[in-house]
Amino acid sequence: MKKLINIFMVIAIILFGVGCSSSNNSEDPIIQDQDFTLNLIVVNYDEDSKTIEAAETDNPEEVSYVISFEDQLQLNSGDQIAVVADVIMESYPAQVNAKSVAVTSPAQEPSTCIEAKPASFELVDRMNLPEGLKVDENHKESGYDFIEKDDANFLILYMGERNTGGYGIRVTDILKVADEYLVLVEEKSPAPGDIVTMAFTYPYTVVKLDKEITEDMIKIERSQY
């Protein structure tokens, strides 16, 4: 009788040990109750495996979820997404089987704003032009000439032929934007009722530029004033 009791005790111990071992080696438990929504930020999207590595919105650098979704998506790092799921495995990162994924806020693109800096220039008195600088005083078309001298470059801006007086042209500013120089030009027309010269006129203006500013670097923008 005592021997039989000992045999039952040994069997019980073995069965208890097997049960504990099976419990310790089981997979992470799966939560599957009802649909829930996760608001996350995309860290990386693998198109081949259709998996999304995502992070909490308050800690966007750390991947805390790996999401599987059967449809192909167009996702970028930094996109904010809403994930509807009904299966999540308790692991780290948490494994999520998604039912739907929607972008709620696209990633913000980095600013490409380029600073505009004033460039030096000098208005040249048309009555006191530098020696050897030739100006077409009857230039019939709107346009410009770019003339290179030893110590500086000159930009002559033409308004073109006008049938009366009262017209004018001036350079208000020159701005360095990246590798270009933006020449801001204003053109004036006579207002209704103005008393003007009844003759053809050819308005123009001349500006002196630094020698480093070459013709291929300038861009002219005209407006009315």
Largest Cα span, the chain: 138
Percentage of residues of the chain with pLDDT beyond 70: 83
Q: How confident is the model at residue 2 (pLDDT cuts 50, 70, 90)?
A: very low
**Who's near 32: CB < 8 A, 6+ residues apart?**
86, 87
Helix then strand then coil, in percent of the chain rounded to 5, is 10, 45, 45
**pTM for this structure?**
0.53
**Mean pLDDT, rounded, of the chain:** 85
Q: How confident is the model at residue 35 (pLDDT cuts 50, 70, 90)?
A: confident
Across residues 112-139, what is the average pLDDT?
90
Among 21-35, 79-93, 118-132, 158-172, name the one with the lowest average pLDDT.
21-35
Q: How confident is the model at residue 185 (pLDDT cuts 50, 70, 90)?
A: very high
Query: Which pLDDT score, from 0 to 100, does residue 214 have?
Result: 96
Tens of pLDDT, residues 103-115: 988 887 665 667 8
Q: Are strands 204-209 and 153-158 parallel, antiparallel or unpaired?
A: antiparallel
More confident residue, 113 or 116: 116
Query: Which pLDDT score, from 0 to 100, does residue 31 have?
Result: 56
Q: Is the pLDDT of residue 60 over 90?
A: no
Query: Which pLDDT score, from 0 to 100, does residue 7 have?
Result: 41
Structure token pair of residue 219 = 């861009």
Query: Which pLDDT score, from 0 to 100, does residue 115 have?
Result: 84
CA distance 225 to 222: 10
- Residue 215 backbone phi and psi in degrees, to 5: -60, -40
Domains of the chain: 29-105 (2.40.50), 116-126+133-224 (no CATH)
Contact 176, 212 (CB under 8 A): no
Q: Is the pLDDT of residue 168 over 90?
A: yes
Across residues 198-219, what is the average pLDDT?
97
Q: Are strands 218-224 and 180-188 parallel, antiparallel or unpaired?
A: parallel
Query: Which pLDDT score, from 0 to 100, does residue 59 have?
Result: 83
